Structure 1
Amino acid sequence: MGLSTVTSQASPGDPAGAGQAAWRSMSWAVIAAFGTYFCMYAFRKPFAVAQYSDLLAWEWQFKTVAVSAQVMGYMLSKFIGIRVLSSMPPRRRAASLIGLILAAELALILFGLVPTPYNIFCLFLNGLPLGMVFGLVLSFLEGRRQTEALAAGLCTSFILADGMTKSVGKALLEAGVSQFWMPAAVGAIFLAPLLGFVWMLQQVQHPDEADVAARSVRPPLSADDRRAFVRRYAGGLIPLLLMFLLVTVTRSIRSDFAPEIWTSLGVT
């Protein structure tokens, strides 16, 4: 049963029914967004569970260079997304989301195929598509009176997804899967659930007239529109972008080196 079926059960003259339909619609959207972004973590984080002990990459610790490569790809992706996502029409969102995830999974497969240390470049390629996933998922939720609540539900995925997807990766390592093939294996496990959640996102109804009146229409932006937007809001955008990048990098380093941090503290 799709979302349109759920929300169409309320009668316009029934306030209670309309309220229940609104809650069902919000719940559907939150579950779809939460689940999609949760599954995305399976394509980004599990590789960091492995410690890659005694491996070097150009006289540096292999894992240090690997994490840096993925973070660089992820950061670059954010800037690419400014152009790509702002100009993307709604009808292409779901297909683009699936395409980004498949590209990330292909990079993980290459990570297992390419010999070390050159497979580090595959993690850079893995980060490139994944940096745009959050913006794509959020685009299904924006422009609504309840956008803040929906976005909060989406962001709770950060709390659970990192640890849970890494736990799957650790279980595969303990089962004997190679540390270079484990990331692709975790991604394959989460691919089917991700496709289901993307389907749910695709069923989320567009903002209604009341949403548009309370917020605004979210049309695709041309290059001139983007330049005008940046010129108008640069004073606030630039500090926000810098702060966001700093927080993202710091959080990623803390997360990716968690095994080493706990080991150094004597916790195994």
Structure 2
Amino acid sequence: MVVHTRFAPSPTGRLHLGHAWSALQAHDFARANGGAFTLRIEDIDGTRSRPEHVEAILRDLEWLGLGWDGEVTFQSRRLALYEAALDDLRARGLLYPCFCTRADIAASLTAPHGPEGPLYPGTCRGLDAPDLSKPHCWRLDVAKALASLGDPELLWHDAFAGQVRADPASAGDVVLARKDAPASYHLAVTVDDAAQGVTHVVRGVDLFAATHVHRLLQALLGLPTPEYRHHPLLLGPDGTRLAKRHGAPSLEAMRLAGEDGRALAERLRNGQLPVGIAAAQA
């Protein structure tokens, strides 16, 4: 099997050290195994994606010395693939429109909690005559989806956690098409990884829980299941993961300040992290 990994940032802000850490692991794993490394821009969030962020991503990766194979791909140019998957699931009665807001869900006293907070309580599941002229998203009826497969044992393998039994019900009825975007992260990334022949998904352990949903979608859509490598995250001085919204220092700022990107990449490979930055335990 030819190894194929990918790095798939969203152009909603500048890259930071956490992105560099993840990109290096995906890039180096592919290169160490004589495989391919793909760059995919996940830009279907039309309200937050910016062309200037795309340009900065390309410059930052080149600054780090990371080269990718083939052309850069953009999710915004792959919408027909997502719509085909949604049409398939709708035709099988596995999707339903949802008109609830986040505030509605948070206010529901019946909403159970999962790894990422309140789960959708199923308010719109089974509506007799939904008015599709109103803003709505499309949710996957997870219980019905599992039943349609005969309630199978869904497994995947992670390089750090070993064999994992998927529990997609733990995420509730997830959104597959958003009110403000043609596809959710769950749907788009699952379809893209299969369509692009990704054999090893290298990403942060913060996305481990999402793989429960992705494994179900793979089974529903007849897609292959890649190997997973959910790596530990980099943590800031406050002990939380580096993130754009927390003001993590950008690679662009380091680059414009004259730092040597290739030297930085080599230090990260050797576990030599900047002062105040730590790698979480696996």
**TM range, smaller chain:** under 0.3
Identify the structure with bigger relative contact order (alpha carbons < 8 Å, sequence gap 6+).
1
TM-score by length of 1: 0.25
Judging by fraction of residues, say which structure has more strand.
2
Structure (1 or 2) with the larger CA radius of gyration: 1
TM-score by length of 2: 0.24
Judging by fraction of residues, say which structure has more helix.
1
